[in-house]
């Protein structure tokens, strides 16, 4: 029976499983041992899958998402558009702009003059990818990267666009991508959370980052992201209270577990058992988290690779190094948010400082994973929630300008995890305003991430309030051209 389950485990449901086990008490017990999450809530008998087991062989085990909150300007970083320089100050043609929705910040502008990048670009690596002079470290690893220059989204303002990328919906109260992966794949390390969140702030206008972005939504609360802070206690309320030792805490948890089990038998609420799992995880994290946070064993070469800021808690560089440590210790989804990319004005000054904040550490993370043999099984993603306009926001001067939000096209890069390296996918028109080839919708992007981790986005479903929900809602297709 066990052999049959292992051979055909990807193609059965609860009804078939229980029938084959003859519905006896012993059969149910054996089933729970072979597949601990088999009787988890959510979904119907006919559509449910076995959480913790991928649908097919994965190319990646983990994700590190370097989210650049506020939307970096692709024209100044990766999407080289010399035509914009040639047309400096000229009005964007109506045929290009079309019926594009405007934000409240530019809707009343009388003119929309085009503006090219203030910084120069060069081609690098065997892939001959264009990278601006603002990203010297990233330019050295272009042959490890896949640039997707044809991303587009549906939202034009930060909060809904950010929420859409992370949860598949522009409204809140949906599970985030990390929560879906935790639900679909289960734990790799029982002593650390499946989904962790790290925050940092750059210069300029920092758009808000809210806990709803790492919410478990309607999934069990064990799948919620755990935020690590830069303070003395990276995870709040993890330490034992004064006067309580490890034995006292263990005894307390054992007694609490018995009480919760009694409550569960009476009410049958799965959140009761979820809370027990959270208490147990917190107990194990008391030892695991300080060990992961300890940088004293990192070599001088690694510190030099990431830069001196990696020793300053709460910086982007420190979070990149911590992301590597969390990932190599089995955390499924490490989410970084770096604020400060919202350059509506004073763009040349602010984006230069912002790029300097993230360039070295982002490249170092890819290099570090590669030299440890971890890049093949770790998918690294870099990018924001939408792009920026090819025309200026506000007054255009000889040395200053800004750019407004632009959902029609933006650039991200991906590395490792079975993604083709040294590749540029998709392109925009000569003004960088519309997609010219190979558009990639947010749901396509999400479907591709799930695919790399062995999950079919159309089958990763949770039934809630009578509706079948998934990360990609009712659309999305895997971008197979970028998969190796």
Pairing of the two strands 423-425 and 145-152: parallel
Instruction: Let me know if residue 430 belongs to a domain.
Output: yes
How much is the average pLDDT of 378-392? 98
Query: How does residue 311 score in pLDDT terms, banded at 50, 70 and 90?
Result: very high
**Among 279-288, 310-319, 418-427, where is mean pLDDT lowest?**
279-288
How much is the average pLDDT of 30-57? 56
Highest mean pLDDT among 62-66, 97-101, 239-243: 62-66
Instruction: Let me know if residue 101 belongs to a domain.
Output: yes
Residue 77: per-residue pLDDT: 98
Residue 67: per-residue pLDDT: 98
Q: Which helix (H) or strand (E) holds 22?
A: none
pLDDT for 124 beyond 60:
yes
How much is the average pLDDT of 26-38? 43
Instruction: Let me know if residue 28 belongs to a domain.
Output: no
Residue 40: per-residue pLDDT: 45
Closest CA to 117 of 151, 93, 149, 83: 83
Report how far apart, in Å, the C-alpha atoms of 312 and of each of 308, 322, 366 are: 8, 11, 20
CATH number for the domain including 405?
3.40.720
How much is the average pLDDT of 405-409? 97
The number of folded domains in the chain is: 1
How much is the average pLDDT of 429-452? 98
Residue 296: per-residue pLDDT: 83
Report how far apart, in Å, the C-alpha atoms of 198 and of each of 235, 265, 362 are: 11, 37, 14
**For residue 195, how many other CB atoms are within 10 A of its CB?**
26
Residue 53: per-residue pLDDT: 85
Instruction: Let me know if residue 395 belongs to a domain.
Output: yes
Query: How does residue 249 score in pLDDT terms, banded at 50, 70 and 90?
Result: low
First to last CA, the chain: 36
Residue 385: per-residue pLDDT: 97
Residue 56: per-residue pLDDT: 94
Instruction: Please give the full DSSP string across 378-421, using - where no structure is assigned.
Output: EEEEEE-SSEE-SBPBS---SS--B--EE-S-EEEEEESTTBPS
pLDDT for 32 beyond 80:
no
- Can you read off the two tokens belonging to residue 343? 């350059």
Q: At what angle do helices 246-267 and 270-293 cross, to 10 degrees?
A: 150
How much is the average pLDDT of 6-34? 43
Q: At what angle do helices 347-371 and 316-328 cross, to 10 degrees?
A: 30
Query: How does residue 282 score in pLDDT terms, banded at 50, 70 and 90?
Result: low
Residue 240: per-residue pLDDT: 65
Contact predicate 425/147, CB 8 Å: yes
Question: Where do runs of H (alpha helix) occur along 220-345?
Answer: 246-267, 270-293, 300-306, 316-328
Residue 285: per-residue pLDDT: 62
Residue 15: per-residue pLDDT: 45
Closest CA to 285 of 221, 224, 236, 238: 238
Instruction: Let me know if residue 148 belongs to a domain.
Output: yes
pLDDT for 442 beyond 50:
yes
Residue 292: per-residue pLDDT: 80
Instruction: Let me know if residue 111 belongs to a domain.
Output: yes
Instruction: Let me know if residue 440 belongs to a domain.
Output: yes
Q: What are phi and psi of 419, to 5 degrees?
A: -90, 140
The CA-based dihedral angle spanning residues 423, 428, 434, 440, taken in that order and rounded to the nearest 10 degrees: -10
Instruction: Let me know if residue 216 belongs to a domain.
Output: yes
- The mean pLDDT value of the chain amounts to 86
Domain that holds residue 179: 62-238+294-482
Question: Cα–Cα distance between 436 and 409 in angstroms, integer?
Answer: 10
Residue 364: per-residue pLDDT: 98
**Among 235-239, 347-351, 377-381, where is mean pLDDT lowest?**
235-239
Closest CA to 235 of 293, 180, 179: 293
Residue 297: per-residue pLDDT: 87
pLDDT for 46 beyond 60:
no
- pLDDT digits over 170-186, tens only? 988 899 999 999 999 99
pLDDT for 200 beyond 70:
yes
Instruction: Please give the full DSSP string across 100-148, using - where no structure is assigned.
Output: ----TTTTT-S--BB---SS-EEEETTTTEEEETT-HHHHTTGGGEEEE
Higher pLDDT, 218 or 244: 218
How much is the average pLDDT of 126-152? 98
Question: Cα–Cα distance between 250 and 163 in angstroms, integer?
Answer: 38
- Can you read off the two tokens belonging to residue 131? 């990278």
Residue 293: per-residue pLDDT: 81
């Amino acid at each position: 029976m066990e052999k049959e389950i292992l051979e055909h485990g990807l193609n059965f449901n609860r009804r078939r499983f229980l029938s084959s086990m003859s519905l006896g008490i012993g059969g149910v017990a054996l089933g729970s041992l072979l597949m601990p999450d088999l009787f988890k809530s959510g979904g119907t008998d006919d559509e449910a899958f076995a959480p913790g087991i991928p649908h097919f062989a994965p190319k990646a085990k983990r994700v590190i998402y370097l989210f650049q909150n506020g939307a970096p300007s692709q024209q100044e970083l990766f999407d080289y558009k010399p035509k914009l320089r040639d047309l400096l100050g000229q009005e964007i043609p109506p045929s290009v702009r079309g019926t594009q929705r405007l934000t409240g910040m530019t809707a009343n502008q009388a003119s929309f003059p085009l503006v090219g990048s203030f910084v120069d670009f060069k081609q690098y690596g065997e892939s001959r990818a264009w990278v601006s002079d603002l990203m010297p470290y990233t330019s050295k690893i272009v042959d490890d990267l896949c640039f997707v220059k044809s991303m587009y989204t549906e939202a034009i303002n930060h909060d809904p666009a950010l929420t859409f990328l992370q949860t598949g919906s522009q409204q809140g109260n949906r599970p985030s991508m990390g929560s879906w992966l935790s639900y679909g794949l289960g734990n790799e390390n029982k002593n650390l959370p499946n989904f962790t969140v790290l925050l940092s702030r750059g210069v300029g206008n920092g758009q808000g980052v809210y806990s709803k972005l790492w919410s478990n939504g309607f999934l069990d609360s064990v799948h919620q992201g755990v935020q690590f802070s830069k303070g003395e206690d990276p995870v709040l309320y993890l330490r034992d209270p004064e006067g309580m030792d490890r034995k006292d805490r263990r005894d307390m948890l054992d007694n609490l577990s018995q009480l919760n089990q009694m409550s569960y038998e009476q009410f049958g609420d799965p959140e009761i058992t979820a809370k027990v799992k959270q208490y147990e995880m917190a107990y194990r994290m008391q030892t695991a988290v300080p060990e992961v946070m300890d940088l004293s064993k990192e070599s001088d070469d690694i510190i030099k690779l990431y830069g001196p800021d990696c020793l300053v808690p709460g910086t982007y560089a420190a979070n990149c190094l911590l992301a590597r440590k969390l990932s190599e210790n089995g955390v499924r989804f490490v989410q970084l948010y770096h604020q400060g990319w919202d350059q509506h004005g004073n763009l040349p000054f602010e984006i230069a400082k912002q790029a300097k904040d993230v360039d070295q550490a982002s490249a170092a993370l890819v290099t570090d994973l590669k030299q440890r043999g971890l890049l093949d099984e770790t998918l690294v993603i870099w990018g924001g929630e939408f792009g920026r306009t090819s025309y200026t926001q506000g007054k255009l001067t000889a040395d200053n300008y800004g750019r407004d939000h632009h959902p029609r096209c933006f650039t991200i890069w991906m590395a490792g995890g079975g993604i083709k390296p040294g590749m540029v996918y998709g392109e925009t028109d000569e003004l960088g305003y519309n997609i010219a080839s190979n558009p990639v919708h947010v749901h396509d992007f999400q479907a591709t991430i799930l695919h790399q981790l062995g999950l079919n986005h159309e089958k990763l479903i949770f039934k809630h309030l009578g509706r079948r929900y998934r990360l990609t809602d009712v659309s999305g297709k895997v971008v197979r051209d970028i998969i190796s």
